[in-house]
Amino acid sequence: MLKQDKLKIPAINVNDSVTKSKFDNLYGCRESLIDDIKRATDIMIAGKVAVVAGYGDVGKGSARALRNFGARVL
């Protein structure tokens, strides 16, 4: 649209930004993972053993969230 002069206002592709993806992967999964597990299973996470496969930003956020709720993370 910009090349065709049809874009009347500035536009930014936020979805592909490194900052957004790092933030969402690390912090977004912390909130949604625990919420989804609780809703799907209706069990307490404290005292459970959880295995996180992969230690990228999503794995780091997931492991931290599970630890914060009392799980033993492997």
Q: pLDDT digit string (tens) for 9-49? A: 877 777 778 887 778 877 888 889 999 999 999 999 999 99
User: Which among 55, 56, 58 has a CA at the least distance from the CA of 31?
Assistant: 58
pLDDT at position 61 over 80: yes
Q: What is d(CA 22, CA 32) in angstroms, rounded to the nearest whole number?
A: 15
The pair of structure tokens assigned to 21 is: 């993806």
What pLDDT, on the 0 to 100 scale, is given for residue 2? 66
**Span 49-66, mean pLDDT?**
91
DSSP letter for each residue of 47-70: T-EE-----SHHHHHHHHHHHHTT
The pTM (predicted TM-score) of the whole model is 0.71
